[in-house]
Structure 1
Amino acid sequence: MLYLDLKMKFSTKTIRKIKEYNIRIVYLFGSRAQKNERITSDFDIGVVFRDISQLKNLPDIHPILYNHLTEEFQVTFKNDIDIVYLQETSPHFQYEVITRGKIIFEYD
């Protein structure tokens, strides 16, 4: 799968949302990043905001971001997307995602 080895080419529409929501990095982690996924494996996505104050807007941001990523990954009901906002997780979990995951989008 191309997106495991290279940064993804997100659509212009999704890039606009990523910038609007002040997202700095998007990771792919879990079985798909480790290249041992199954057909029914979900997509584990880690999101890092540039400004953690965006976390308070998650009720508005999450459904829209989920829809955009579902389109980008061409997900069917068999392959769901699990979005984790890394600034809400433990340092250990963050370390695992950063060291074992793959950056699929980065916005400076």
Structure 2
Amino acid sequence: MVIRKAMVIRVRPEKLAEYRALHAKPFPGVIAALKAANVSNYSIFLKDDLLFGYLEYSGSDWAADMAKVAADPETQRWWQLTDPCQTPLESAAPGEWWADMEPLFYMA
């Protein structure tokens, strides 16, 4: 079974060029860690200062798989570069970075 996840965060306008450059050449290890964690079809879209992320997850334990991604040294290095470019939405839950979005419609 595939779980579709969507999330949103703001990009700092003064960091947009840096954020674009980072995502033009993502670290291969980050991509490998995500794939090993059962993530596929991951996309990030930009509108104004909003980043919209979409991914599909085919594993059976999201929390465990995301913990493996978070423990990956190359992913940690990636986040050190990308996190300063972002700011959570005001409506994000406490401790939430990318805010999960509620699915309302899906056409297969």
Measured against the shorter chain, the TM-score band is 0.3 to 0.5
Q: Which has the higher strand share?
A: 2
TM-score, structure 2 normalization: 0.46
Which is higher, the Rg of structure 1 or of structure 2? 2
TM-score, structure 1 normalization: 0.46
